[in-house]
Structure 1
Amino acid sequence: MSFKDILHPKTQAGEIIRDIVIVLLIVAVIGLVLFAVSGTWPALVAVESGSMEPNIPTYALVFVAEESRYGGWQTQEEALASGADPVFNGYGDVIVYQPNGKTGVTPIIHRAIEKVTSEEAASKWGFTGDAAHAGIITKGDHNKYPDGEPAYDQDKHSGIGSKYGISWLEPVKDEWIVGKAIFAIPFIGWIPLNLLYSILIAIGIIIVVEIIMKIVSKKKNADSLNRTEKRREERKKKRKQRGRGEIRYGS
């Protein structure tokens, strides 16, 4: 099979498969470009919950960059002290991190609030043993207790880590940080969060488009054949008319 045969398959099924492969190749290229620009993977993170509402809505797709790029990052405490501009309508950068360093799970995307030493982790936040280490205190912008008090990720009773099977989230170590949020696109995050449905929808769209293109192409070909046939009939009539005229003239 030649490259030309691959680009121009002879069956409709072949055309659909070709289009799906092209889409997958485009997605792969986009992924490589995003990795090159962001310096981290994943370069895009979908927001599953409303913990950052309204500043980063549920189902937003967030572009994530390595924390050292684009001017580095600051905690809320540092941003307020330095007079930095707000980020996502709040002070302090929004970071993406692995809960307690756990891999293979959806990372948490919350705002960096303050840095703590191991002593502060123990005295101020109540951590003991190996959990009492230096790191970052984080919080979802929307997360509050019923009495209105802020619910930090590292509060013992916040329950933020329960979905990961973690009873108590520890201060975020530097090596747990995936990157910082640069910008968010609303609603697009639904696609990776519902990947199977998204793939089925994409395949369905490709099939429908191919069918429509086939119908349009057949109609154009039929119209072209009709016009050709009509012109042929008109030429035949003209030849017959000329023939009759010549006979009458000759008589």
Structure 2
Amino acid sequence: MRRRDRDDTKERGFFSRLAMSILGVLSCLLLIFGIFYIATGLVTPFVAVQGSSMEPNIHEGDLIIMVSIDRYGDPIPYIDGRETGYEMFGNYGDVIIYRPDGNNDRSPIIHRAIAHLGKGDNLFITIDGDVYVFNDMPYDGYLTKGDNKATNHMFDQPFISKPVKKEWIIGKAKFRIPYLGYLSIIPRKIVSESFFNLPLMI
């Protein structure tokens, strides 16, 4: 075999091995995402938390694993959890991740569902000694609030978002992994501040 033929054979062998390696990596990624989808009902079930609005129960830098409400049921709000004893992340009711005003261009919010009201309903509730009032619900939806009493002493509605419609909810928070969210937050902060002003999860 001539030298040029040997070189061509080596080159083809290299690209063949490279293609097989790439295919193997892609197969592993598809398997991992498939497992997460089967387990959570979501293709991307991860949220990196930025900000202190859910202190002391969820912290900045936490990585949250969420589940689909279509598969795991509608969120249980604070007022129902208080009656039944259902708790998530240190307080009654579910913590939800939602798109404020249903706007995909805004950063998702991770806050606790406080109540689910029907159109025209009113709410008067005491939480940890503080009184909260909401009058004349415009449509069926959820009222939400951050757990941090120092920074979130009112409902999100109407200041951060209108009452949260079910279709605006991305998922329910299920598990918390401390600090792992910084792997997403720090690089995105650097890129957003330096180049593109990209939004971050809140």
TM-score of the superposed pair, with normalisation by structure 2: 0.69
Match of residue 157 from structure 2: 154
Choose the corresponding residue for 1:183, options 155, 160, 175.
175
Q: 1:55 to 1:27 in 2, by over 3 A?
A: farther
The 8 Å contact of residues 65 and 181 in structure 1, kept in 2 or not, is answered as: yes
CA positional deviation for 1:195: 4.4
Q: 1:121 to 1:24 in 2, by over 3 A?
A: farther
CA positional deviation for 1:4: 8.0
Supply the distance in 2 between the matched residues of 1:121 and 1:103 (Cα, whole angstroms): 28
More strand by share: 2
Match of residue 96 from structure 2: 95
Pick which of 89-98 and 22-31 moved more.
22-31
SS in 2 for 1:153: coil
Supply the distance in 2 between the matched residues of 1:181 and 1:65 (Cα, whole angstroms): 7
The 8 Å contact of residues 143 and 152 in structure 1, kept in 2 or not, is answered as: no
Runs of 5+ consecutive residues of structure 1 not aligned to the other structure: 9-17, 162-168, 199-251
Runs of 5+ consecutive residues of structure 2 not aligned to the other structure: 1-11, 125-132, 191-202
Match of residue 111 from structure 2: 110
More helix by share: 1
Match of residue 140 from structure 1: 146
CA positional deviation for 1:69: 3.7
Length, aligned pairs only: 171
Supply the distance in 2 between the matched residues of 1:41 and 1:53 (Cα, whole angstroms): 27
**Alignment RMSD:** 3.4
Find the structure with the greater CA-based Rg: 1
Query: Residues 161-212 of structure 1, C-alpha deviation per residue, up to 9 Å, x if partnerless?
Result: 3xxxxxxx111111111110110101111122244699xxxxxxxxxxxxxx
TM-score of the superposed pair, with normalisation by structure 1: 0.57
CA positional deviation for 1:70: 4.4
CA positional deviation for 1:82: 1.9
Pairing of 1:233-244 with structure 2 (within 5 A): none
Pairing of 1:19-98 with structure 2 (within 5 A): 26-70=28-72, 72-84=74-86, 86-98=87-99
Supply the distance in 2 between the matched residues of 1:78 and 1:49 (Cα, whole angstroms): 27
Match of residue 204 from structure 1: none
Q: 1:194 to 1:41 in 2, by over 3 A?
A: farther
**Larger RCO: 1 or 2 (CA < 8 Å, sep 6+):** 2
